[in-house]
């Protein structure tokens, strides 16, 4: 099992550029979560999907952020235009929603974004 | 979702048991207590969870008080690799769906010392 796969692992970009972060959840999982982590704010839930449908995006900071899940094996988090305050580590996690399952979230290694 | 309270930091000697407390006095009847940990610069890792009974797995034990207002995560023989931030989270889980958002607080930074 390859686990949750995120790309890129590191991204350095300039203010105003578009950033796209990618996530491949664990095969068979039907829930996907995007988190952002900074020293100041800790781990923040941005959005989560269930069966490819966005369920709660109340954590998305503003309209510059958008997330999609076109199919069960792929999700993107896009920032356009990026700003220095978006610098953070972005984590993707997946889980299985089903009877008898533990509710455990499996996290990827994260994408470290630096906006200059 | 119930708010949890944890001490910001703790130390533990290598080889000794690490006992990490968590207060969740407003926990609801359908909220499980979950523990995750995050080793520096890695994604959070699930440790254990429970509803009202004590639980044990290969990583740790979870002791939940009878009134469910607090719990303790026990690492029986802490090693240097257990140095991490430990998060205690109260999360509703109905057994068939996630009925809420898994919200991380500030956690407890556990430093295991040689």
Mean pLDDT of B82-89: 96
For position B100, what pLDDT does the model report?
57
Tokens, residue B111: 């430093």
The phi-psi region of residue B83 (left if phi > 0; otherwise alpha if psi is between -120 and 50; otherwise beta) is beta
Radius of gyration, CA atoms only, chain B: 13
The answer to whether B32 contacts chain A (CB < 8 Å) is yes
DSSP state of A103: -
The answer to whether A34 contacts chain B (CB < 8 Å) is no
pLDDT tens by residue, B22-78:
999 999 888 889 999 999 889 999 999 999 989 999 999 999 999 999 999 999 999
Burial class of residue A49 in the structure, from the number of CB atoms within 10 Å of its CB (0-12 exposed, 13-18 middle, 19+ buried): buried
For position A99, what pLDDT does the model report?
59
The answer to whether B26 contacts chain A (CB < 8 Å) is no
Cβ-defined contact of B98 to A31 (cutoff 8 Å)? yes
Mean pLDDT of A92-112: 84
DSSP state of A26: P
**Upper half-sphere CA count for residue B10 (Cβ side, 13 Å):** 24
Give dist(CA A90, CA A85) in Å, integer: 13
For residue A96, is pLDDT > 90? no
Give dist(CA A9, CA A22) in Å, integer: 10
């Amino acid at each position: 099992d390859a686990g949750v796969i995120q790309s890129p692992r590191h991204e350095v970009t300039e203010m105003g550029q578009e950033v796209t972060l990618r996530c491949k959840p664990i095969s068979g999982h039907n829930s996907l979560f995007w988190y952002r982590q900074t020293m100041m704010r800790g781990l923040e839930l941005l959005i989560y999907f269930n069966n490819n449908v966005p369920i709660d995006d109340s954590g998305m900071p503003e309209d510059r952020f958008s997330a999609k899940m076109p199919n069960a094996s792929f999700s993107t988090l896009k920032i356009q235009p990026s700003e220095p305050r978006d610098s953070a580590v972005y984590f993707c996690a997946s889980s299985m929603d089903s009877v008898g399952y533990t509710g455990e979230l499996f996290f990827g290694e994260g994408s470290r974004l630096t906006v200059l | 979702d119930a708010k949890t309270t944890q001490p910001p930091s703790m130390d533990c000697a290598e080889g000794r048991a690490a006992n990490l407390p968590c207060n969740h006095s407003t926990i609801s009847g359908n909220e499980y207590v979950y523990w995750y940990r995050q080793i520096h610069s890695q994604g959070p890792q699930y440790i254990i969870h429970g509803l009202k009974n004590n639980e044990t797995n290969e990583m740790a034990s979870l002791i939940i008080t009878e009134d469910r207002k607090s719990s303790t995560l026990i690492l029986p023989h802490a090693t240097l690799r257990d140095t991490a931030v430990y998060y205690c989270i109260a999360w509703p889980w109905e057994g068939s769906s996630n009925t809420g958002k898994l919200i991380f607080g500030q956690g407890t930074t556990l430093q295991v010392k040689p």
